[in-house]
Amino acid sequence: MLAARNSPKHRATRLRDSERTRERLLQAASREIYRSGYQSASLDTILALAGVTKGALYYHFESKEALGHAVVKEIIAPDVHGKWVRPLQSVKDPIDALIGAVQRIPVRPADVRGGCQLNNLAQEMSPLDAGFRKRLAIIFDAWRDAVASTLREGQTHGSVRRDVEPADAAGLLIAMVEGYGSLAKNAQDPKVMKAGIRNIVGWLRSLRAPGNRRRG
């Protein structure tokens, strides 16, 4: 029996179970933080959502802070990467790619009610916790760098205006996306976000080089 418990197959099963438990905790924590904010997030609610014990929580995360940091790194960062970094890699037309990313911003009532999880945490925790601030800054920097890089590439190929400063334009895009998201959340009205998307798309189109403005 002891040999069976120490077999490679049994160890692999335990490892998979441990990984699944950790993933359930991360997903549950992400949902609870999104709903209540980090400071008000309840560990008991997270445990109930994940269906695990407090011992399992502290086996994987030494504190609530460590769990919150992991949510930023392993849930929020990949989400932003999937929406704003990966779609801009190796694109034929940077403006089309950026417009597509903006037009894919969720505008369902539930999305508008909750706002952007990245921005929510930045607003709540950046003034209070350097660990959160630094981790969130990495995500914002990667987003800004991806937008600036694709605009710079567009300038190289003549599809983006030469007078555009890529880093400044990237920062403005992020500010508009998050600003309209905050306005829509405060109004609890998807129409605010939809109007914002139209305005952002119009601005992006204005970044096209003169010979490319008929497109998009």
* pLDDT value of residue 216: 45
Taking the C-alpha atoms of residue 65 and residue 134, their distance in angstroms, rounded to an integer, is 14
Taking residues 134-144, what's their average pLDDT? 98
**Domains defined along the chain, listed by start:** 1-61 (1.10.10), 64-212 (1.10.357.10)
Average pLDDT, the chain: 92
Residue 67: phi and psi, rounded to 5, are -65, -45
Taking residues 120-136, what's their average pLDDT? 96
* pLDDT value of residue 134: 97
Residue 32 has pLDDT above 90, yes or no: yes
Residue 53: phi and psi, rounded to 5, are -90, 165
pLDDT in tens, 39-70: 999 999 999 999 999 999 999 999 999 999 99
